[in-house]
Amino acid sequence: MRILQEWDGKPCDVMIALHARRSADSIAAFRAAYPDRGLGVVLTGTDLYRDLPANREAQRSLALADRLVVLQELAAQALPAHHRTKTTVIFQSAPALKRGERRRRTFDVAVVGHLRYEKDPQTVMRVALGLPADSHVRILHAGAALEERYATAALRTEARTTRYRWLGELTRARARQLMRHAALLLHPSKMEGGAQAVLEAIRSGTPVLVSNADGNVGMVGGRYPGVFRVGDVREATELVQRASTDRAFLRRLASACRARAWLFSPKVERAAVRDLVHQLLHNREVPRRRPSR
């Protein structure tokens, strides 16, 4: 196996490309060189919800691929119907971590994701500012500000309320520890392909609240009780506050997350990738089935 930024033209039996648009040249070159060899394309949220509707190179990649891989259960709905039969879901994974000790004086809510438009950091800040005066919630926001306006907004929010702290960029290990010790993860993204932070929180025993972006609902399941509308600050604030005061509701969130946690195990992901490679080598359709435990 070789991992490359772009295909170098050297012979290989199978190619699995990440991103329909960014890898479009490699996908086209491989298909031209090896018309009968297996070609898989892994689609991210950027592919599905930004590039594919208008980008011809991304659309060409879908047509050239033998198999398409999406990272959450609702993603196939964003594809043209004639491509869905060659699409399979492979959830990303993370090792399980033992649930960390929670603070008693505050109800800590972790937010993990760079401060950029797609992750909707301003909703996080508005939630912090909109909490009731007697709330024990403390929002810990981890991520680099990819635009100066978000850094400015984060610093202003810190100055206005003690319920918000911007931690800046953390290593992956530190981010996981933050989630592990938090009472809750808040993930309010506007556009999402299948957030690593959501599955890492679940694999750490931390329940989540998510926006109803397809990439979030496709991770937690259509009946998950902790979902709010994209950009709805009032609804998000009410759910955060309810989780901090209503133990039965928090237990319900935790139970629903535990029921999904096995989907994000490295064992399940490895089996799914092996299955994909096997199918590509034999040029047969990947069975569209739910992974086994």
Token pair in block for residue 230? 């994209």
Residue 289 pLDDT greater than 80, yes or no: no
CA 270 to each of CA 90, 93, 214, 274, 278: distance values in angstroms, whole numbers, following the listed order: 9, 9, 24, 6, 12
The answer to whether domain 107-263 has CATH 1.20.120.340 is: no
Q: To 10 degrees, the CA torsion angle through 197, 21, 268, 93?
A: -20
pLDDT of residue 292: 56
pLDDT value, residue 45 = 86
Residue pLDDT, tens place only, 184-220: 999 999 988 888 999 999 999 999 999 999 999 999 9
pLDDT tens digits, one per residue of 57-86:
999 999 999 999 999 999 999 899 999 999
Report domain extents, the chain.
Answer: 14-93+265-282, 107-263
Residue 99 is given by DSSP the state P
- Express as a percent the part of the chain with pLDDT over 70: 96
